[in-house]
Structure 1
């Protein structure tokens, strides 16, 4: 394994680029190009890619390479279903929901809110699973903004219910949140594949 400061920097940078949707679903990750981009040698970059594969943010590509996971309508529906199961575990938990901080833009706010809800389950595995799903769904949530109307208001309503610890209202609002996305999953997947990609 590589010295921690270099590895940590490289790992965090690649993870953030994945969350930002820099690469399309299924796109191959080029090791040499990534080394140049991050000004790092192949060893820490390769180690970071292996860790991200273990976290399911990347998949094995051809040969010894890596690629982004695919995203089909069925894949996205599975992810929405899994998030819903984690949220329900939180709503059934006896603990208090976690902090939600200040109101922020809807993509980031959704992740913060969902982690706060899952905190009530008092289950480290659920919390880590939601953290992973938030990273994997970040580009999807960006795409939702151009497909679904009223996302900002929807997230604000969820935030108010979390702050009030109103679990009955949260169940209703989360069910509606999921239904809206299930109905438009095909359009959302198409948009994710067409999102503008950063190259810097």
Structure 2
């Protein structure tokens, strides 16, 4: 890998981690020169990294070649949760090898489990779920949707007992009962669809660094 390509890959990874961790304010401009200084590189790898993030729909392209984080609204949050639910519905319909999902992390039901830990566990669970589908496109789709949902998942605290909820969903799924899994998945997503306004508002108040 050429030096610039290697640097672009590193910058892409680090910016993506910051976005998904909610470290940037939704809608904020991403200034190429500022990011280049921050990551100790030239502007070319930063621009390459941002263009890649545009393709992943984690960054928006602005007029004049600028970049910014997508804004978050109730409508966009509702549509994203709904899209995730649609993908999951397709997966549950065709998935096999339920037992390969394994047990949920014990920490999920711990009082010390914070929003970030639960969000990470949710991403892991749905990736495992998609891995049980014979259609490899499902895994790519669920990972991309999950990455775009990452900041919203950090602000689902109003739902309450998310760790226990996810652990229960995890165990229902690995039981192999397809109908019970379908119902549990819909209930999981319905709670978030009903709170899309609250979750999106909390996410827009995320503190930038």
* 1:137 matched to 2:149: yes
Q: Which has the higher contact order (CA 8 A, sep 6+)?
A: 2
Task: Count residues with an aligned counterpart.
Answer: 197
* 1:44 matched to 2:45: yes
* 1:195 matched to 2:206: yes
Specify whether residues 39 and 102 from structure 1 end up closer, same or farther in structure 2 by C-alpha distance, changes over 3 A only. farther
Contact 1:24 1:193 in 2 (8 A): yes
Contact 2:126 2:142 in 1 (8 A): yes
Contact 1:26 1:70 in 2 (8 A): yes
Distance 1:107 1:22 in 2: 15
Specify whether residues 101 and 3 from structure 1 end up closer, same or farther in structure 2 by C-alpha distance, changes over 3 A only. farther
TM-score normalised by length of structure 1: 0.90
CA deviations over 1:54-98 (Å, ceiling 9, x no partner): 111111123111111121111111111110111011111143245
Distance 2:83 2:118 in 1: 20
CA deviations over 1:29-66 (Å, ceiling 9, x no partner): 11111111111111111000001101111111231111
- The CA RMSD measured in Å over matched residues stands at 1.8
Specify whether residues 185 and 102 from structure 1 end up closer, same or farther in structure 2 by C-alpha distance, changes over 3 A only. closer
Alignment of 1:146-165 (within 5 A): 147-165=158-176
Distance 1:2 1:49 in 2: 17
* 1:174 matched to 2:185: yes
Map of 1:86 onto structure 2: 87
Segments of structure 1 that go 5 or more residues without pairing to the other structure are none
What SS is found at the alignment partner of 2:123? Answer: helix
Kindly report structure 1 stretches of 4+ aligned residues shifted beyond 4 Å. none
Distance 1:100 1:9 in 2: 32
Distance 1:91 1:77 in 2: 21
Tell me the CA shift for residue 162 of structure 1: 2.9
Distance 2:102 2:24 in 1: 29
Distance 2:44 2:3 in 1: 7
